[in-house]
Amino acid sequence: MKETLRIISAEAVVPGVLKVVWNDRYEGVVDLRGILREGEILSSLRDPVQFRKLRVAQYGHSIYWGEEGDEDVDFGCDRLRELAEEQAELIRRAS
């Protein structure tokens, strides 16, 4: 049986960019800068100090900003993995 994908750790590398490690040992960089430019709900994350305050949710199903149970913004584990893999493939093709 395949283990459920979970985030083990996440950290801000530079404003808008994360390094994420999953429980299957995949490590990826996720560039959220394009996403963060859109919409008012994400405006607080454009502040580098706020962006660094990310947290991994209990059980690793997402990352979030705000207080647990009252998250201002969150990104799910699976979507972050998709973004990491897509962005890694773009870099691979460009090099």
Per-residue pLDDT tens for 1-60?
678 999 999 999 999 999 999 999 999 999 999 999 988 889 999 999 999 999 999 999
The whole-number pLDDT of residue 70 equals 65
Q: Is 70 exposed, middle or buried (0-12, 13-18, 19+ CB in 10 A)?
A: exposed
Cβ pair 24, 84 in contact under 8 A: no
pTM of the model: 0.89
Residue 90 backbone class (left: φ over 0; alpha: ψ -120 to 50; beta: rest) = alpha
